[in-house]
Amino acid sequence: MGYVRGLKCRECSREYPVNPIYVCEFCFGPLECVYDYKGISAVLSRKEIQRREKNLWRYKELLPIDGEPQVGLYSGYTPLVEAKNLAEELGVKRLYIKDDTVVHPTLSFKDRVVAVALTKAKEFGFDTVSCASTGNLAHSVSAHGAKAGFNRFIFIPASLELSKIVASLVYDPHLIAVDGNYDDVNRLCSEIANKYNWAFVNINIRPFYAEGSKTIGFEIVEQLGWHAPDNVVVPCASGSLLTKVWKSFKEFEEVGILKKLNTRVFAAQATGCGPIVTAVKHHTDVIRPVKPDTVAKSLAIGNPADGYYAVKVTQETGGGGEEATDQEIIDAMKLLARTEGIFAETAGGVTVAVTKKLIEQGAIGKDETTVVCVTGNGLKTKEALQGHTSEPYHISTNMSSFEEVLERIRG
């Protein structure tokens, strides 16, 4: 058996047994997993974790499964890259990229949440998995669901990038492209989830799914030599990842693995879809839904389910938030590639652009340690860069043609 003791309403604290449910019957607040931290601290230590395989399941006591992991056995433990070139360019001493563009089978951090969600779906006995996705979740559920032998119904906004659509279809799921934005897709999926007995990873098993995001935070602490950073910058769609990064730090503190926690958490969103950051900047916890219009489609959630809690975390930790325009997002994707050799998707452009602004504003200090979460691979959103990169030099098949170009380059 695992260490999850049940589900608890984040609003009224009413408790429920472990089931595929996600809202409180009494106050409609969201449910969250609660653990036996005493029990966990008796078995989990730095040493024990370090003995284990380098994947996200090395923290399994702090994940909501009862048996052995069944999905995502090769996901996680992505590199924490000291970004010396980028740090120099931005004028700070210690900047790290948590690089979730690599290692994961479908090349985004969504493989973390799906590993937990599908393992849990197996434990619950579901035969069909489903999701409402802005793109990356579709890839991850399609791929891991195939390997684990589930029927897969995947719902996306029809306007997604072509690369994102192809990278789902290759796994042969039932891909349903909805004429509408993510918020429309999500609304439809909530209705479908009520009618069909499917495991919607981000709806009816969301309390379990969301816990998978904590592994990025556990890894950051471990890879910093069991220290938490001064600042962490997190991209937000629904806001779930941001709340779970903070939860992971607090849990490591709770079980005695982390000795000192003094981290400020910053939210990063696109200007064309920034309901969380807008609330942060206005010092309110009231989220005003927006109609998304941004190149960062993977973050384009206008009515973020965890927005309120994400705002709370930035306030509670003394962090903050910033937004980036489409042009700033594209410039930042190119900056990250040029300085660190990391090709991030648009969401990574958002986070890097926001980090740059926070440094310029002095919200992030020059001598502090900052971790920037880069959550998806750039090959997934090539379309965003079309017309925004330089062109190749075209030559014919002879030396003189090449040397003409070489002269131009050197000149």
Ligand X SMILES: *Cc1c(COP(=O)(O)O)cnc(C)c1O
CB nearer ligand X, residue 40 or residue 178 = 178
**Smallest distance, ligand X to C-beta of residue 241, A:** 3
CB nearer ligand X, residue 257 or residue 267 = 267
Among 101, 215, 238, 269, binds ligand X (CB under 6 A): 238
Which residue is listed with tokens 């309110």?
284
Q: Does 314 engage in binding with ligand X (CB under 6 A)?
A: no
Q: Does 168 engage in binding with ligand X (CB under 6 A)?
A: no
Strand partners, 24: none
CB nearer ligand X, residue 44 or residue 358 = 358
**Smallest distance, ligand X to C-beta of residue 345, A:** 6
Q: Does 240 engage in binding with ligand X (CB under 6 A)?
A: yes
Among 2, 64, 239, 272, binds ligand X (CB under 6 A): 239
Q: Does 270 engage in binding with ligand X (CB under 6 A)?
A: no
Q: Does 324 engage in binding with ligand X (CB under 6 A)?
A: no
Neighbours of 230 (CB within 10 A): 16
CB nearer ligand X, residue 40 or residue 280 = 280
Q: Does 237 engage in binding with ligand X (CB under 6 A)?
A: yes
CB nearer ligand X, residue 257 or residue 305 = 305
Among 181, 375, 381, 384, binds ligand X (CB under 6 A): 375
Report which of 235, 260, 239 is spatially closest to residue 250, judged by C-alpha positions: 260
Report which of 130, 143, 84 is spatially closest to residue 340, judged by C-alpha positions: 84
Neighbours of 387 (CB within 10 A): 8
Q: Does 214 engage in binding with ligand X (CB under 6 A)?
A: no
**Smallest distance, ligand X to C-beta of residue 323, A:** 14
Part of the chain binding ligand X (CB under 6 A), chosen from 18-26, 45-53, 237-245, 388-396? 237-245
Part of the chain binding ligand X (CB under 6 A), chosen from 13-21, 37-45, 235-243, 402-410? 235-243
SS3 percent helix, strand, coil of the chain, rounded to 5, is 45, 15, 40
Euclidean distance between CA atoms 133 and 164, whole angstroms: 11
Q: Does 207 engage in binding with ligand X (CB under 6 A)?
A: no
The amino acid present at 235, given as its one-letter code, is: P
**Smallest distance, ligand X to C-beta of residue 202, A:** 8
Which residue is listed with tokens 């969504």?
110
CB nearer ligand X, residue 116 or residue 255 = 116
**Smallest distance, ligand X to C-beta of residue 299, A:** 6
Q: Does 298 engage in binding with ligand X (CB under 6 A)?
A: yes
Tokens standing for residue 186: 């999500």
Among 212, 235, 274, 378, binds ligand X (CB under 6 A): 235
The amino acid present at 99, given as its one-letter code, is: D
Provide CB contacts within 8 A for 8, sequence distance 6+: 14, 15, 16, 31, 32, 33, 34
Euclidean distance between CA atoms 126 and 199, whole angstroms: 6
Q: Does 205 engage in binding with ligand X (CB under 6 A)?
A: no
245 with 216: CB under 8 angstroms? yes
Distances from the Cα of 336 to the Cα of 2, 96, 261, 353, angstroms: 40, 12, 28, 10
Rule CB under 6 A: which of 107-136 touch ligand X?
108, 110, 136
With 0-12 / 13-18 / 19 or more C-beta atoms within 10 angstroms meaning exposed / middle / buried, residue 399 is exposed
Strands of 10-102, DSSP E: 15-16, 31-35, 80-82, 94-99
Euclidean distance between CA atoms 396 and 205, whole angstroms: 57
Interface residues with ligand X (CB under 6 A)?
108, 110, 136, 235-241, 298-299, 345, 347, 375-376
